[in-house]
Structure 1
Amino acid sequence: MIFRKATINDVAKIVEMIADDELGKSREQYQIPLPNEYLRAFQNIDADQNQELIVVENENAEIIGTLQLSFIQYLTYRGGIRAQIEAVRIKKDQRGLGIGKAMFEWAIERAKERKAHVLQLTSDKRRPNAIRFYESLGFKATHEGMKLHF
């Protein structure tokens, strides 16, 4: 597997993976051409040195996974950096092959390279399989997360 920074040419494949589940279908709008909002978002992510939108390719250079790492500077933890992992997706026909585990191993190493003291994530409570997967990797539900949607 090859892990690389996403390019503008990858955005459609990324959005397709993000939209390819019950929750994604209800909030994303995957179509070709893509709505401009996705391209603008990519440009903002790409311009920010604390954002890394990553794609994973197989041996045929086919995109089979994606994730986004955000590095957040804090004053707490003596000025520590938190890494936040979001939008982890694997192409449906590639699930169950160990790709997710490899993606998280890569993300953990990348967070350490960037001197983060913690890698955190959130997962929708309607994704029990994902939560069990994260727990199997050593993630612990140590905080109660809350969101206020606008």
Structure 2
Amino acid sequence: MGDLEIRHATADDLPAIVAMLADDPLGAQRETPDDMTPYRAALEHLDADPNQHLVVAVREDRLVGTLQLSVIPGLSHQGMSRALIEAVRIHADERGSGLGSQLIEWAIDTSRQFGCRMVQLTSDKSRTDAHRFYERLGFSATHEGFKLRL
């Protein structure tokens, strides 16, 4: 990964993470970068759960990417654990640089280290560029996803 460091996210990273989450049309509708209170509370919950891994990618002391990796133990598939990749974001200045591939490859390798036998992710239907990106990395659109807001 050269000059890239992937490490556990800290509270000091939250403003940069939230800025990346909000830096697209979908994120701009749901994120509130002016109030870190809910994000600090969420980070505390993530930090308390050993199956949750919020990481940041740092290059030259600058946060340039983030993702959340969740390990999900399961009973089906003969007790298979799977990993879920969520909230993948790359800083606008770094898009197209290969950083996204490096971050996903890190997540896949880390999932193997945790004993996962599958990695899954979701992507909003409107993110067609992201869909092509994930397919290039070997992911297949095998399921239809459903969500219910509570």
By the TM > 0.5 criterion, same fold? yes
Deviating beyond 6 angstroms after TM superposition, the runs of 4 or more aligned structure 1 residues are none
Partner of residue 42, structure 1: 43
Q: State the partner residue of 2:84.
A: 84
Q: Structure 1, residues 100-129: CA drift from partner, whole Å, max 9, x if none? A: 011111111000000101000000001000
Residue aligning to 1:120: 120
1:80 Cα deviation (Å)?
Answer: 1.1
Runs of 5+ consecutive residues of structure 2 not aligned to the other structure: none
Return the alpha-carbon distance in structure 1 between the equivalents of residues 15 and 114 of structure 2. 28
Summarize the alignment of residues 106-145 of structure 1 with structure 2, pairs less than 5 Å apart: 106-145=106-145
Cα deviation, 1:33-81, whole Å, max 9, x if unaligned, reads x3311110010001110000000001x1110000000001100111111
> Contact 2:65–2:89 (CA<8 Å) still a contact in 1?
yes
CA RMSD of aligned residues (A): 0.7
Query: Is the aligned partner of 1:72 residue 2:72?
Result: yes
Q: Percent same amino acid among aligned pairs?
A: 48
Gaps of 5+ in 1: none
How many equivalent residue pairs? Answer: 147
Q: Distance in 1 between matches of 2:29 and 2:38?
A: 16
Q: Please, what TM-score do these two structures have when normalized by structure 1?
A: 0.96
